[in-house]
Amino acid sequence: VPDAAALDAADPLAAFRDRFVPTPGRIYLDGNSLGRPPRETAARLATRAAEWADRLVTAWPDWVDEPRRIGDALAEHVIGARHGEVLVADSTTVNLFKLAAAVLAADPERRRVVVTDPGNFPTDRYVLGALAAEIRWVEHPTPDTVAAACEPGDVALASFGHVDYRTGERLDLAGITAAARAAGATPVLWDLSHSAGAIAVDLHAAGAELAVGCTYKYLNAGPGAPGYLYVREDLHSRLRSPIAGWFGQRDQFAMGPAYDPEPSIARFHAGTPPVLGLPAVEEGVRLMAQAGVEALEAKAAALTGFALELADSYLAAHGFTAVTPRDPARRGAHVALRHERAWPACQALAARGVIADFRAPDILRLGLPPLSTSYADVETGIGHLRELMAAREFDHFPARRPRVT
Ligand SMILES: *Cc1c(COP(=O)(O)O)cnc(C)c1O
C-alpha cells in the first residue's frame, strides 16, 4: 500500500483542504451526503444578512439576477454548459419534477413511458413514478440496454443519476444520451448530485440536453442549499415549467393577467429565489473553479483508488467487499463497501471520530470529496475500521437504523 504522507505531499490540490473549516478530532468521510463548509462561507452569509438589514427591499435589483449569474459560473466551471443554460433555484426534487413534467407535456402524443434505473435515488424514482404512466426499469444502464428500452419508440423520457448514490458507479453520460436519442428520440434527464464538483462533467461534450443537481454535497453550499437545473438552449422554447410561477414570467413586474414565460432559462423559475443561501453556492462553485474539473477528476480517481487498495488489504479479511467499480472512469468520488454488519460498523466508526455513512441494506459509504479530503484521512479512517472490526466493537451498537442515516 502506498504511503499516504507521500501522496499528500505530491497532491497538487492538497492546499485546498485548508480552505475548509477544520474538523478537530474527527475525520469526515461523508461529504457525499453533506459537504464541509468552506472557511469563507460564514462571512459570505453574514454579509448577505447585513445587506438585508442595511438595504432591505432596495437590494432586490442586485439579488434578482444571482440565480442566473451563479448558474453561469456553475455552467462554465463545473458542468460544461454555456452561459444562460443553468439556473440555481428550488430543490433538486422540484427541479427534477419541473423538467420531467415539461418534457412529458411537450410531447402529448406519446404515452408517458419513462425509463429509469431501479438503483436511481429515491426522490428521482418517486417523482418519475408519479408523473409516468409506466416506468420501464433498466438495471445498471449502458448505451445498449437503454437503447433496447427506448427502441419501441414509446419512451417520452429517460432519467438517470450520473453517479450511483450507493455503489459509486458512474454511467456513460455521452453514450447513454446518444443511444436514447438514436433508438427512440428519447431525451435523457441527468441527475448530477453525486458527480458535479466530484469529477469532471462536460454536458455539452456529452450532448446532454437536461440535467439537475444539488449543491450541498460536493459543492459545499450547506444544508438545504438550493439545487440547479440545466436546459440546453435549443430546448428553452419547447419546454414549459409545470409550475407557472411569477418569477418565470416575462416582464414579471408588469404583473400581467396571464402566464407568458420568459424566453430564457429564467422560465424555469417558480417563485422567489433562496437569496439567503445563494452566496454559499457561489463560494462552493468558486472553489471548484479554482481547482478545475480535470484536477478534481484526477484526484477523485486517485483517492478512491487508494481507498479501494486499503479496503483490499485491510478489510477483505473482515468480510468487506468493495462494490465500487475498479476502473476509475466508471466511478465517482465515493467508495461503497458491503458488509452485513455495515450499520453497526458505521456507528462504531463514528464513536472513534470517523464520520462515514450507511445506505440500506448493507453498504458503508466513504465519501472522498477531492478538495476537502487528504490521503491521510483515507488511511486513518480505513485504519480505524480495520481496528474496530478486529476488536468487534460493532457488537456494542444497535443493528437497527434510526430515521435519518
Ligand atoms: C442528494 C440527492 C438529491 C436530493 O434532492 P433534494 O431535493 O435536495 O432533497 C436528489 N437526487 C440525487 C441523485 C441525490 O443524490
Answer yes or no: 191 catalytic.
yes
At 215-241, the pLDDT tens digits run: 999 999 999 999 999 999 999 999 999
Share of the chain above pLDDT 70, in %: 100
- pLDDT in the model for residue 403: 81
Phi, psi of 321 (to 5 degrees): -125, 135
Cα separation of 49 and 84, whole Å? Answer: 27
Mean pLDDT, residues 247-269 taken together: 96
Looking up cell 461529504, which residue turns up? 31
Cell reading at 247: 418569477
**Is a pLDDT exceeding 80 seen at residue 405?**
no
Supply the pLDDT for residue 404: 81
Average pLDDT, the chain: 97
In this structure, the chain runs to a length of 405
Closest listed residue to residue 296, CA positions, set 80, 6, 12: 12
Interhelix angle for 173-184 vs 143-150, to 10°?
20
Q: Compute, in angstroms, the gap from residue 34 CA to the centroid of ligand 1.
A: 11
Annotation says 299 is catalytic: no
Residue with cell 444497535: 398
Nearest to 206 by CA among 157, 247, 171: 171
CB-based contacts of 32, cutoff 8 Å, min separation 6: 165, 194, 198, 217, 218, 333, 334, 357, 365, 367, 369
Tell me if the pTM is above 0.75.
Answer: yes
- How many beta carbons lie within 10 A of that of residue 113, not counting itself? 22
What's residue 1's pLDDT? 85
Q: What is the 3-state secondary structure (H, E, C) of 347-387?
A: HHHHHCCEECEEECCCEEEEECCCCCCCHHHHHHHHHHHHH
At 400, the amino acid letter reads R
Name the helix (H) or strand (E) containing 12: none
Determine the distance separating the centroid of ligand 1 and the alpha carbon of 93, expressed in angstroms: 6
Choice from 116, 125, 193 to test ligand 1 binding pocket (greatest atom count within 8 A of CB): 193
Confirm whether 365 is a catalytic residue.
Answer: yes
DSSP output for 205-263: HHT--EEEE-SSSTT---TT---EEEE-GGGTTT---SS--GGGBTTGGG--SS--B-S
CA distances from 333 to 120, 295, 395 (A): 17, 13, 30
What number is the average pLDDT over the span 284-313? Answer: 98
- Helices 293-310 and 278-291: angle between axes, nearest 10 degrees: 80
| pLDDT at 402 > cutoff 90 | no
User: What is the distance between the alpha carbons of residues 258 and 260, in angstroms, rounded to a whole number?
Assistant: 6
Give the pocket of ligand 1 (CB within 6 Å).
91-93, 121, 123-124, 161, 165, 191, 193-194, 214, 227
